[in-house]
Amino acid sequence: MSWIRNAWYVGATSAEVGDAPLGRRLLGERMVFFRDAQGRVQAVEDFCPHRGAALSLGRVCKGELVCGYHGLAMGGDGVTRSMPGQRVGAFPRIQRFAVEERYGFVWVWAGEADGADTSAIPVLEWHGNPAWAYGGGLYHIKADYRLMIDNLMDLTHETYVHATSIGQEEIDETPCTTRREGATVVTSRFMERIDAPPFWRDALAAIGVPEDTKVDRWQICRFSPPSHVLIEVGVAVAGLGGVDAPDDQKAYSIVTDFITPEADGSMWYFWGMARRFRPQDAALTERIRDGQGRIFAEDMAVLEHQQRNLDDFAQRKLLKLNIDAGGVQSRRMIDELLAKEACAQVV
Amino acid sequence: MSWIRNAWYVGATSAEVGDAPLGRRLLGERMVFFRDAQGRVQAVEDFCPHRGAALSLGRVCKGELVCGYHGLAMGGDGVTRSMPGQRVGAFPRIQRFAVEERYGFVWVWAGEADGADTSAIPVLEWHGNPAWAYGGGLYHIKADYRLMIDNLMDLTHETYVHATSIGQEEIDETPCTTRREGATVVTSRFMERIDAPPFWRDALAAIGVPEDTKVDRWQICRFSPPSHVLIEVGVAVAGLGGVDAPDDQKAYSIVTDFITPEADGSMWYFWGMARRFRPQDAALTERIRDGQGRIFAEDMAVLEHQQRNLDDFAQRKLLKLNIDAGGVQSRRMIDELLAKEACAQVV
Amino acid sequence: MSWIRNAWYVGATSAEVGDAPLGRRLLGERMVFFRDAQGRVQAVEDFCPHRGAALSLGRVCKGELVCGYHGLAMGGDGVTRSMPGQRVGAFPRIQRFAVEERYGFVWVWAGEADGADTSAIPVLEWHGNPAWAYGGGLYHIKADYRLMIDNLMDLTHETYVHATSIGQEEIDETPCTTRREGATVVTSRFMERIDAPPFWRDALAAIGVPEDTKVDRWQICRFSPPSHVLIEVGVAVAGLGGVDAPDDQKAYSIVTDFITPEADGSMWYFWGMARRFRPQDAALTERIRDGQGRIFAEDMAVLEHQQRNLDDFAQRKLLKLNIDAGGVQSRRMIDELLAKEACAQVV
């Protein structure tokens, strides 16, 4: 296993777990999510203890997950509640997974359910805050989840992968700096007095600033284990302090990336953008979401081909340049935590 | 190999073997079916002894199977008849399979062709009998053939998988009994004075009984080796003797299931229904066939997911409840026969 | 590896390598083709030495191949030219492949680039010659490349695979002769005073000869290593000398087949036809190309099924008949060359 176990990952969005159960392969397990009688999300193995049917093909009835084959009713604790005509007391338990719904996401603890600690779920300040708007989506990508961390912790790729939207030459020309801040790796780049690329010109227009205004632009990428990357991005009218400029003179957003291994070699990628300008403008939210969806789809092709190459040329050593420092240090942090978990298991 | 060899399986319907050859993977072999000069169905390996081309891509000419690559003409005995410009006397034989066309099906003997005994083909009384009508179809399913036997020998699943057509709560509430009768396993359930579910309401209408009449309903499932399941099903006006009620007061059918392993982990499923009410009504036959096709397609998804789960969770033990007795006893009978065949091979 | 290394194969058509790079798996390698500043085609591994991205997803800029991920610029010699913000002197080289553009094709040397000898590229006399017209296409086929050589060096299959276009019974009835001429295997068949099949009737019409004229027909197949097959085909008004008849009394063509292994078990098949009648008739070129494309697609299905059979029945020995002599001798020539290369490697 190549991912940290004592940690929370995003397993689904709240909206995905509605009246019907949701089956999803995640963290090497086949899971099924459903809502109990109190509306709380529960997750158990997607395996009926009767004959092995997929519980996700069933339905939710009074907060229990009813198998679509013979009607076994499963509780969120992995204990069978009932089955028509049967005594279920001796039925074997199935595995439950610790889950917590928060900020519009269903968080899944990758380790033993009993060890789950909800205080470790990151705080997403924008959720439910009227000063912010959020839109996002989900992609399934056939590549190791760490390739996405590399991707996000080095935004020089924007110039090439996203040339027509957020890329611009000044990204290449401006060095980035990478540092570790406690349990976070931070890579930042500040570009001053430049033209805004198309995506940001639209944002400027949205806040009433002429599109051709010279801007200061920032990218502050923060990786935190197990595999979350939050990126402060934006532009401000040049010379007003950049990311610290007054709110009406800047377009400030956070790109949100929650990356969850499906199994070795593939991932679920929950992407989104939280913005702090014109939050009530739902049409803008939708437009940004569409644009981001298109931009991030460009990354999918790159990463899947890269993964195929890494499999085919397994013995090749990759370069670790200064621009790769963000990814390299993030992976180092993951490796340290994996080593720590491996030690703990030996004891 | 996980199937009985000294037995007949359905390999194709008569209609499938027309003027053109039919290639089909079956019982772990690649077979090709075609009709000889007398119109009799023959089956040989789908492998031209010349260069290995697939004979099924060829054509039938004067009762011989002519390879579509270089014109080798193959007989139903696996002996090459001729080839343009060649002497074929020394050409190697290919394997022939014992086949017998009967009751609208092409039956294939899974063992050595010389050991085939046509008297072992089950008698299908409805075929060619004007008192009966028959309609059916074929599905390819990626699951072990015995999962379908389990499915059919326990019809409590109807309540859940087929909730909108033939399922009803009374199935769950009525215990079934399972017994062995010679070389047959019988599971039966009798429900008295109930409302008919949608499928059977239509049948009642067809025989001129008001749809909301209280009925007695029966399900008598009979497994016989190697993997045939025939199920007497129907409803009668309540209190007239159920399955023994007078013909004009009941809708009586047999669900026919001939299940043939393709190879380990997949099957061909020949399903159908023979009915003894309104046999001349071709539109009804078609309507029933469509409905049954839809109902049985619901089972496919369940079984394919179940198979995937059984592969993924290979070490898990499944439960064997009273409702599973039909499947469990059918599998036991298969296992006994497999053991017997294994012994015979040692001797 | 099952192909000759010290030899040229067709890797692409000239038209395929335009402004954008072309990625293609070929000869067991992932290659990317592009044009340098002089317009010359270059080929290197499709693997960016920075992080393993596929260079073929990038773009060509001033004759360098610019990686679409982070902008590394690669030269045709496998040496990194530049990368924004980086010193690239110590970057590892990637493999380059010797390529030569000639006759509308990009030829690739399968062995060490330094050993490539462009004088070994076959001469294609029709290219750029106004007396000839050429049209062709490309198929990807999941079968060993030698099955295509077998196919082309024995045209008796036309009677069966291509019954409605170029096949006719006289092919079967007329023996072929096979001989080795230096480094070429030649299989030829001459049919005299026959009716032309549909494809050739059209050709006769094109040269102003009544379609029902009796013709002499020829097929002269020439295999030369590593895997090229050129086939002189055509018809002439009967009794005028066949292939040697005056030009206005015959339709003379060369079927061109350049077959390149993709990897073990699959191939790229560059097919075409060069003709020496009505060369200026572009509509005829197009019509012939369409027809040939349809005819050769019939071979694809045959070969892919044959390959599947050869995999499934791996232990079976195939027959080697007189009609197979062309393929058998071609394979023998390949085997001799492979043995010679194996020896050379040991030394």
Which of C155, C160, C162 to mutate to test binding with chain B, by most B CBs within 10 Å of its CB? C160
Domain for residue C310, yes or no?
yes
Inside any domain, residue A125: no
**How far does Cα A38 stand from its chain's mean position?**
27
Mean pLDDT of C92-98: 97
Q: Give the CATH number for residue A102.
A: 2.102.10.10
Q: Does C58 touch chain A (CB under 8 A)?
A: yes
A206 CB-near residues (< 8 Å, 6+ apart): A251, A277, A278, A281, A284
**Using the 8-state DSSP alphabet, how is residue A179 labeled?**
E
Q: Does the beta carbon of C240 lie under 8 angstroms from any beta carbon of chain B?
A: no
Low-confidence ranges of chain A (pLDDT < 50): none
- Structure-block tokens of residue A75: 């509780």
Q: Please tell me if residue C57 touches chain A, with a CB cutoff of 8 Å.
A: yes
Distance CA A285, CA B287 (A): 49
- The residue range of the domain holding C64 is 8-120
Beta-ladder partners of C26? C29
Q: What is the pLDDT of residue C88?
A: 95
Which tokens sit at C312?
């499934």
Question: Chain A within 8 Å of B306 (Cβ-Cβ)?
Answer: yes
Token pair for residue A332?
Answer: 């180092």
Chain A residues closer than 8 Å to C71 by CB: 156, 159-160, 172
- The amino acid that residue B189 corresponds to is R
Closest CA–CA distance from residue B58 to any residue of chain C (Å): 8
**Cβ distance A289 to A38 under 8 Å?**
no
Q: Which residues pair with B216 in a beta bridge?
A: B236
d(CA B108, CA B7): 8
> What does the pLDDT read at residue A256?
97
C163 and C99, same domain (yes or no): no
Instruction: At A252, list the tokens.
Output: 């400030």
CB contact under 8 A, C51 and A324: yes
pLDDT at site B347? 55
Examine the domain organization and report whether C56 and C151 are in the same domain: no
pLDDT at B172: 81
Q: Is C302 on the interface with B (CB under 8 A)?
A: yes
To the nearest whole Å, the CA of C319 is away from the closest chain B CA by 5
Is the Cβ–Cβ distance between A193 and A214 less than 8 Å? yes
Q: Which two tokens stand for residue C154?
A: 């024995």
Q: What is the mean pLDDT of residues C149-173?
A: 85
Contact A326, A185 (CB under 8 A): yes
A70 in reach of chain B (CB within 8 A): yes
**Is the CB of residue C50 less than 8 Å away from at least one CB of chain A?**
yes
Using a CB-CB cut-off of 8 Å, the residues of chain A touching C57 are 301-302, 305
Contacts of C325 in chain B (CB under 8 A): none
Give residues 86 to 145 of B whose Cβ lies within 8 Å of C: 86, 91-92
- B-facing residues of C in 149-178 (CB < 8 A) are 150, 154, 156-157, 159-161, 172-173, 175
Residue A96 near residue A87, CB atoms below 8 Å: no
Flag if C30 and A322 touch (Cβ within 8 Å): no
H or E element that contains C294: helix C282-312
pLDDT at A344: 82
CATH number of C314's domain? 3.90.380.10
> A71 and B316: CB-CB below 8 Å?
no
Suggest the residue from C309, C310, C320 to mutate for an interface test with chain B (most B CBs closer than 10 A): C309
My answer on whether B228 and B164 are in the same domain is yes
- DSSP track, C57-92: GSEEETTEEE-TTT--EE-TTS-EEE-TT---TTSP
Dihedral sign of CA atoms C124, C128, C132, C138 in order: positive
Q: Are strands C184-194 and C177-181 parallel, antiparallel or unpaired?
A: antiparallel
pLDDT of residue C161: 79
Does residue A49 sit at the B interface (CB-CB below 8 Å)?
A: yes
Is position B128 within any domain? no
Residue A127 lies in a domain: no
A235 touches chain B (CB under 8 A): no
* CB-defined contacts A:B, below 8 A: 70
Q: Is the pLDDT of residue C316 over 80?
A: yes
Q: Tell me if C215 is assigned to some domain.
A: yes
Residue type, A258: F
Question: CB–CB of B160 and A68 under 8 A?
Answer: yes
CB distance B160–A69 less than 8 Å? yes
Q: Show the beta-strand stretches assigned E in chain B.
A: 8-13, 22-26, 29-35, 41-45, 59-61, 64-66, 73-74, 80-82, 96-97, 99-102, 105-109, 133-141, 177-181, 184-194, 215-224, 228-237, 250-263, 266-275
Neighboring chains of C (3 or more beta-carbon pairs < 8 A): A, B
- What pLDDT does C347 receive? 55
A&C contacts, CB < 8 Å: 70
DSSP H stretches of helix in chain B? 145-152, 158-161, 169-173, 198-206, 282-312, 325-346
Residue A62 resides in a domain: yes
pLDDT confidence of residue C301: 92
Last residue of a domain, one of C120, C154, C182: C120
B70 domain-assigned: yes
Over range C83-87, report the average pLDDT: 92
Q: Is the dihedral of CA B339, B341, B342, B343 positive or negative?
A: positive
CA distance C183 to chain B (A): 25
Q: Do C70 and A160 touch (CB under 8 A)?
A: yes
Q: pLDDT band at residue C346, thresholds of 50, 70 and 90?
A: low
Retrieve residue C143's tokens. Answer: 């079968």
User: Does C90 reside within a domain?
Assistant: yes
Please give the residue of chain A at the shortest CA–CA distance from B156. A70
Chain B partners of C154 at a C-beta cutoff of 8 Å? Answer: 70
Q: Which chains touch B (3 or more CB pairs under 8 A)?
A: A, C
Q: Which of B218, B247, B215, B211 is nearest to B234 (CA)?
A: B218
Local structure of A217: helix, strand or coil: strand
A206 burial via Cβ count (<10 Å: 0-12, 13-18, 19+)? middle
Residues of C whose CB is below 8 A from B46: 309
Is A40 in the same domain as A144?
no
Query: Which residues of chain B are within 8 Å of residue C321 when distances are taken between CB atoms?
Result: 50, 83, 86
User: For residue A347, what are the contacts with CB-CB under 8 A and spacing of at least 6?
Assistant: none
A331 & A182 share domain: yes
Q: For residue A52, give the nearest of B157, B172, B316 by CB distance.
A: B316
* Among B90, B120, B150, residue at a domain's last position: B120
pLDDT tens string B89-133: 999 999 999 999 999 999 999 999 999 999 999 999 999 999 999
* Per-residue model confidence as pLDDT tens digits over C222-279: 999 999 999 999 999 999 999 999 999 999 999 999 999 999 999 999 999 999 999 9
Distance (Å, rounded) from C-alpha C207 to C-alpha C192? 19
- Do the chains contact at A69 and B319, CB–CB below 8 Å? no
Same-domain pairing of C245 and C165: yes
What tokens does A299 get? 């990354």
CB A327 within 8 A of CB A142: no
Closest approach of C265 to chain B, Cα-based (Å): 15
pTM for the full predicted model: 0.91
Let me know: does B26 contact B268? Beta carbons within 8 Å: yes
Chain B residues touching residue A69 (CB < 8 angstroms): 157, 160-161, 302, 306
Kindly determine whether residue B84 and residue C308, on different chains, have CB atoms separated by under 8 Å. Answer: no
CA dist B223 and B155 (Å) reads 13
Question: Do C38 and C99 have their domain in common?
Answer: yes
Cβ contact B178:B189 at 8 Å: no
pLDDT at residue C211 in the model: 87
Give pLDDT tens digits for B45-80: 999 999 999 999 999 999 999 999 999 999 999 999
Tell me how far apart the alpha carbons of residues A332 and C160 are, in angstroms, rounded to a whole number.
63
Q: Does A323 touch chain C (CB under 8 A)?
A: yes
pLDDT under 70 in chain B at which residues?
A: 346-347
Q: Is residue C94 within 8 Å of C29, Cβ to Cβ?
A: no
How many whole angstroms separate alpha carbon A256 and alpha carbon A125?
12
Question: Can you list the alpha helix ranges (DSSP code H) found in chain A?
Answer: 145-152, 158-161, 169-173, 198-206, 282-312, 325-346
The C-alpha atoms of residue C69 and residue B314 are separated, in whole angstroms, by: 42
B48, B92 in Cβ contact below 8 A?
Answer: no
Number of domains in chain A: 2
Judgement on whether residues B164 and B109 belong to the same structural domain of the protein: no
Identity of the residue in A157, A161, A313 whose CB atom sits nearest the CB atom of C52: A313
A130, burial (CB in 10 Å: exposed 0-12, middle 13-18, buried 19+):
exposed
Examine the domain organization and report whether A75 and A156 are in the same domain.
no
Cβ contact A215:A238 at 8 Å: yes
Chain C contacts of B71, Cβ < 8 Å? 156, 159-160, 172
Tell me which of C27, C69, C94 to substitute to probe the interface with A (most A C-beta atoms closer than 10 Å). Answer: C69
Q: Nearest residue of A to residue C51 by CA position?
A: A318
Q: Is C198 on the interface with A (CB under 8 A)?
A: no
Do C49 and C26 share a domain, yes or no? yes
Q: B249 vs chain A: nearest CA distance in angstroms?
A: 31
Shortest CA gap C35–chain B (Å): 42
First vs last C-alpha separation in chain B: 19
Q: Which residues of B touch C175 (CB under 8 A)?
A: 85
B44 plus B82 within the same structural domain: yes
Whole-angstrom distance, CA of residue A98 vs CA of residue A214 = 49
The SS3 of residue A303 is helix
Q: Which two tokens stand for residue A96?
A: 């439950």
ipTM of this predicted structure: 0.90
Same domain, A224 and A311: yes
The last residue of one of the domains, among A120, A152, A180, is A120
Q: Indicate yes or no: CB of C85 within 8 angstroms of CB of A173.
A: yes
